[in-house]
């Protein structure tokens, strides 16, 4: 059963054609990694899935909701689709645990005791229980990103989108974040779409790899097949440059 479906989707920024005839289906519980050169449209594509970017043509169905329909309640879509950004986007004026509890309190109207319990369980999952009452400004980049992941999970989403979650981190902090993401990917109920340059990680967690360039999907293959025998010349060239 598909969780996310693009049909002939087009996206423009003024005259710039950012997404070109995107056709893509992602099943519930699937982990899909998007790779490709900078500026290829990967981040734009996943930002359309929770309405952060509007599409101009085509159909985009997310959890049975049509994002191209102006009557669709985008907040209802976002309840089920979490997003983890490159630059964390934590509320700097709230403690770590308040960051995690805020959206479930406001959007889901979750009972406060239950909300606190879930937040503490998520802090344990990301290895940061001792940071619950700290302010984000006291944390390292890797710790902030792990909190951002916990915050997204607090909504109990059906799908989670990651937009280059490790690219702003110091190299020694990357593995802690990837480890958490790997654990999430093992949850068969969660649909993941991940934009990343971490090829070793992609090999480990992805069911499929989408290769994009110039706003188009050039290749969509099972992970092992993609890394061992990419079909597209652009994909072969990209892998030869990025794999060491």
Q: Which residue bears the tokens 């802690």?
A: 176
Backbone angles phi, psi at 40, to 5 degrees: -85, -10
Tens digits of residue pLDDT in 26-39: 999 999 999 999 99
Coarse DSSP helix, strand, coil percentages of the chain, rounded to the nearest 5 percent: 40, 25, 35
223-239 pLDDT, tens digit per residue, is 999 999 999 999 999 99
pLDDT of 206: 96
d(CA 225, CA 212): 16
The pLDDT value recorded for residue 158 is: 95
Neighbours of 115 (CB within 10 A): 20
Can you give the pLDDT at residue 87?
Answer: 86
What's the pLDDT at 227?
95
3-state secondary structure of 105: helix
Average pLDDT over residues 196-202: 92
The pair of structure tokens assigned to 3 is 């969780």
The full set of domains in the chain, from first to last, is 2-242 (3.40.50.300)
Sheet containing 191-195: which strands, arranged edge to edge? Answer: 81-84, 159-163, 191-195, 31-35, 208-213, 216-222
Mean pLDDT of 67-82: 91
Average pLDDT over residues 198-223: 95
Report the distance separating Cα 231 and Cα 109, nearest Å. 49
Q: What is the DSSP letter of 106?
A: H
pLDDT in tens, 3-27: 999 999 999 999 999 999 999 999 9
What is the structure's pLDDT at 244?
A: 56
Rounded percentage of the chain residues whose pLDDT exceeds 90: 86
Conformational region of residue 39, where left means phi above 0, alpha means psi within -120 to 50, and beta covers everything else: left
Q: What would the pLDDT profile of 151-172 be if each residue is shown by its tens digit? A: 999 999 999 999 999 988 888 8
pLDDT of residue 116: 97
């Amino acid at each position: 059963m598909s969780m996310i479906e693009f049909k002939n989707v087009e996206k423009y920024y003024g005259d710039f054609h950012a997404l070109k005839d995107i056709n893509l289906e992602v099943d519930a519980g699937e982990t899909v990694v998007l790779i490709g050169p900078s500026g290829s449209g990967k981040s734009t594509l996943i930002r359309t899935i929770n309405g952060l970017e509007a599409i101009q043509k085509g159909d985009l169905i997310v959890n049975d909701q049509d994002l191209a329909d102006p009557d669709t309640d985008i907040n209802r879509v976002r309840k089920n689709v979490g997003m983890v950004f490159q630059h964390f986007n934590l509320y700097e004026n709230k403690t770590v645990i308040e960051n995690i509890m805020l959206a479930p309190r406001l959007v889901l109207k979750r009972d406060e005791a239950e909300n606190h319990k879930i937040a503490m369980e998520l802090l344990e999952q990301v290895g940061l229980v001792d940071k619950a009452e700290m302010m984000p400004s006291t944390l390292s980049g890797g710790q902030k990103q792990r909190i951002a992941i916990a915050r997204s999970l607090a909504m109990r989403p059906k799908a989670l989108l990651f937009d280059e979650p490790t690219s702003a981190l110091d190299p020694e902090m990357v593995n802690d974040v990837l480890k958490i993401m790997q654990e999430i990917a093992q949850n068969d109920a969660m649909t993941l779409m991940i934009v990343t340059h971490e090829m070793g990680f992609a090999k480990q967690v992805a069911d499929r790899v989408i290769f994009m360039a110039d706003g188009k999907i050039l290749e969509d293959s099972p992970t092992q097949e993609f890394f061992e025998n990419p079909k597209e010349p652009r994909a072969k060239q990209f892998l030869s440059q990025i794999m060491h």
